[in-house]
Amino acid sequence: MTTFPPVPMASTRLAVLARQKLPCSPGTIPRARLIKEKDDIDHYLEQNFKGLSKEEVAAHRNSYKKSICVDMLRNGYHKSFTELFALMEQWDALRHAAEVRSLFWMQRPLEEQPDKLDNLYHYLTKAEAAERQEYYEEVYNNLYALACYFDNSEDKWVRNHFYERCFSVAQLIKVDGGKKEAEAQAHMGLLFEEEGELLEAAQHYEAFHELTQGRIWKDETGHYLNLLACESLVRTYRLLSDRMLENKEYKQAIKILIKASEIAEEGNDRSMEGEAALYLGSAYLAAGEYETALTVLRRYSEIATSMDDDLNLGRAYEAIAKVLQSQGQMTEAIKYLEKVVKIARNNFQSLDVIRASTMLGDIYNEKGQYSKASEYFQQAFSTTVELMKTALMDETKVHYGIARAHQLMLTMTGYIESADMDSLNCLLSWKESRTQVKYDPVLGESRRATEDNIYQYSDNQEEVKRSPDNQ
């Protein structure tokens, strides 16, 4: 049988090179030859596939992260490359550390987030180009743009990195009168405040406040920087004072809150001024300086009244009632707390109603007016039932139960002391059924009169103790 010779196959240079690299290819190919073959392949692709250049081939071959880094180095942005590389290393380290702590770590690697890489490339290279020409304000703007871009819970550490860079660059800007430096101080204060390092935060906010005094600078949202400085400083001083009060460092807390009040007055914001007065009055109360606390808190109530602010007025009345209660002036304290309940109900502030009603119940319970105590504790309990707050419901239920037990105790005592047949029948009936005791109008009125007499006597004793003759 005649056989035809094999048909000659025309192979391209690329196919020849690729075939030589197959696992079945005989022998070992030297490294120099491999490099030459790679160059041949790149040249072939450039000539035959839609004019792809060597750089375009590399872009398809490499990861996007690597392409970004190579492009930075090729264009001479060595500082930007160093900073980006350090951020990526830290990103990976934090990600791996979080994976060890949690099985549900969902944050993707940076190389899988091209939008973030694009922003880093764009603003870092622009900042470096501006730095070469000593346009420090432009450097600051680009770094601040990155800080704003990464201002989210997932990337907050990246934002903080650029806040620190902005702070360093702002020291070099001399043409704006210190506005950028003031903004940078504010950002650093926020950074330390979020970390709970309040002393460092206060130092930065104080510098922010000092730089903005007498200035009419505004931020990008149109708010005055000086007012923002006052608000930030008052807030930080309040947080510091809370720590001091927890440690019973009353003098230090009062000192720093006086400073906060002065700054609030400077800010020309009545709401902030009133809030500062509330915390200062509460600090005086904790320190046992009742008269000073009343003076400061009454100023707070005047501010709230002038602003027609019922919510703050209710807070002022509640704080004043606490001071009066600490002084033993229960009658005056009750008047203020009743105002609090009324204001809270009109403004649908259920938690304020619960708190004030519980305070009123405690006062009446302490005075032996168990009927009134039961009434206010029931009011507090009913409000918690409406809110469906289990913890508060359990607490007010206990208060209400104790007041009802005291009320029942007085009723039982009255029946026992009456020693007549009707009283005996009521006691026997209650013992058998353990239900509500039948109310006796005559006995009830006599017991209520007894309670009122006891309460009036206690008030008279308070007035005698506070009279100048007994001082």
Helix (H) or strand (E) holding 221: none
Model pLDDT for residues 447-470, shown as the tens digit of each residue? 444 445 444 544 544 544 454 444
Radius of gyration of the chain (CA): 39
Query: 57 pLDDT exceeds 60?
Result: no
Q: Write down the residue that tokens 């009830």 correspond to.
A: 444
The band of 282, judged by pLDDT with boundaries at 50, 70 and 90, is very high
For 1-14, the DSSP string reads ---PPPPPP---HH
pTM (2 decimals)?
0.73
- Residue 24, SS3? coil
Q: What are the φ/ψ torsions at residue 40 (nearest 5 degrees)?
A: -65, -40
Query: 47 pLDDT exceeds 70?
Result: no
Say what the pLDDT of residue 95 is: 75
Model pLDDT for residues 198-239, shown as the tens digit of each residue? 999 999 999 999 999 988 998 888 889 999 999 999 999 999
CA-based torsion, 275, 277, 280, 281: positive or negative:
negative
The band of 16, judged by pLDDT with boundaries at 50, 70 and 90, is very low
**What six digits make up the tokens of 234?**
């008052």
Quote the CA–CA distance of 81 and 68 in Å, as a whole number: 9
Give percent of the chain with pLDDT exceeding 70.
76
Quote the CA–CA distance of 326 and 204 in Å, as a whole number: 38
Mean pLDDT of the chain: 80
**What six digits make up the tokens of 382?**
């009913």
Q: What are the φ/ψ torsions at residue 218 (nearest 5 degrees)?
A: -125, 155
Q: Are 281 and 297 in contact (CB under 8 A)?
A: yes
The band of 43, judged by pLDDT with boundaries at 50, 70 and 90, is low
Say what the pLDDT of residue 92 is: 80
Quote the CA–CA distance of 234 and 104 in Å, as a whole number: 39
Query: 321 pLDDT exceeds 80?
Result: yes
Q: Are 321 and 314 in contact (CB under 8 A)?
A: no
Model pLDDT for residues 96-108, shown as the tens digit of each residue? 776 666 644 566 7
Query: 56 pLDDT exceeds 50?
Result: yes
Query: 253 pLDDT exceeds 90?
Result: yes
Give percent of the chain with pLDDT exceeding 90.
44
pLDDT-wise least confident of 114-118, 126-130, 209-213, 279-283: 114-118
> Is residue 459 exposed (0-12), middle (13-18) or buried (19+ Cβ within 10 Å)?
middle
Model pLDDT for residues 384-404, shown as the tens digit of each residue? 888 887 888 888 888 888 888
- Residue 307, SS3? coil
Quote the CA–CA distance of 270 and 262 in Å, as a whole number: 12
Quote the CA–CA distance of 390 and 384 in Å, as a whole number: 8
> Is residue 433 exposed (0-12), middle (13-18) or buried (19+ Cβ within 10 Å)?
exposed
Quote the CA–CA distance of 120 and 142 in Å, as a whole number: 10
